[in-house]
Amino acid sequence: MKIYFAPLEGITGYIFRNAYSGIYGHIDKFFAPFISPNAKGPMTPRERKDLDPENNNGINLVPQILTNRSDCFIDAAKVLREMGYNEVNLNLGCPSGTVCAKGKGAAFLPETMELQKFLDDIYSFAVSCDMKISIKTRLGYYDPDEFYDLVDIFNDFPVSELIIHPRIRSDFYKGEPRKEYFAYALEHSKCPLVYNGNIFTGRDYDELSTYLNSSPDPVMLGRGLVSDPSLADKLKDFTAETDPVKFRRLHDTLYCEYQKVMSPDINVLHKMRDLWSYWQHLFDGSERDFKRLLKAKKYSEYEEIVYHIIQQ
């Protein structure tokens, strides 16, 4: 079974990817948070640093591009190819207000004529230079039934993998994924499919498999894998338990590596706080500690609280 780590902007940057893969392994592909090429250039220096192969040693990484302009997509893909990448991913799912206001991400989905022209351009480029383009999509912008036309459109192109997050834009990341549309894709799509959405436990995966009458493979995991870093190992039957020693190593590595590149201290603490919003459930009964953790302003304070939580 193949497991892909979903792109999570603000979380799964190169520091996280290195820390995670040095400790847990078993991820077949990481997808990088999107870059947004525009007239100013294909990527910012910060995005380039995140994608620099030297910062992603031994990690099977796929850069993701968010744009509705084929010229910008192709310019970025060319630079990424020069950096050594032979697959890029197109973001057709981002629900954020600022992205959708510009007609990108999920907002590109209902513009089917423009989308077809865009795909024509980028896949002609991909074929001409033997580069793979995978797509990460939602079901639609306004209505999940937009998906039927989208499946037909994607069928006309050599999509290397179609990653489906079965929600529409207004669902954001809430509610049950609309699994019945993934089942539709299994029957009607010609593209290799990847399921993404709300797999937080082995049980979630088993329930999905029962619903679909087959075990989806590959699957892409996002929040579930941050919340339980052992989830991939569990799904692959390498372990049954969340290993506290590995978790502590992950925490300490991230904490140490963020201190090397971020300042002032409070920014590091904010970063760790974001992660603790995913990790809190791993440590029952420390509500008071978590409240204190959110307020910590100094490393010494943070460390005292965290090690108290972890050792409980």
Ligand X SMILES: Cc1cc2nc3c(=O)[nH]c(=O)nc-3n(C[C@H](O)[C@H](O)[C@H](O)COP(=O)(O)O)c2cc1C
> Residue type at 204?
D
Least distance to ligand X from the beta carbon of 307, Å? 27
Report the interface residues with ligand X, using CB under 6 A: 6-11, 33-34, 64, 91, 93-94, 136, 165, 173, 196-199, 221-224
Q: Is 172 left (phi over 0), alpha (psi -120 to 50) or beta?
A: left
Residue closest to ligand X when measured from CB atoms: 222
Cβ-based neighbour number of residue 259 at 10 Å: 15
Query: 170 vs 312, which CB is nearer to ligand X?
Result: 170
Is the previous residue joined to 264 through a cis bond, with omega within 30 degrees of 0?
A: yes
Query: 12 vs 18, which CB is nearer to ligand X?
Result: 12
Query: 220 vs 305, which CB is nearer to ligand X?
Result: 220
Least distance to ligand X from the beta carbon of 5, Å? 9
Tokens 């409240």: give the residue.
291
Query: 197 vs 305, which CB is nearer to ligand X?
Result: 197
DSSP SS3 for 90: strand
Phi and psi, residue 86, nearest 5°: -115, 5
Strand partners, 90: 65, 135
Least distance to ligand X from the beta carbon of 31, Å? 7
Taking the CA atoms of 125, 45, 227 and 28 in sequence, report the sign of the dihedral they define.
positive
Query: 104 vs 305, which CB is nearer to ligand X?
Result: 104
Query: 99 vs 268, which CB is nearer to ligand X?
Result: 99
Helices 287-295 and 299-311 sit at what angle, rounded to 10 degrees?
Answer: 160
DSSP 182-220: HHHHHHH--S-EEEES---SHHHHHHHHHHHTS--SSEE
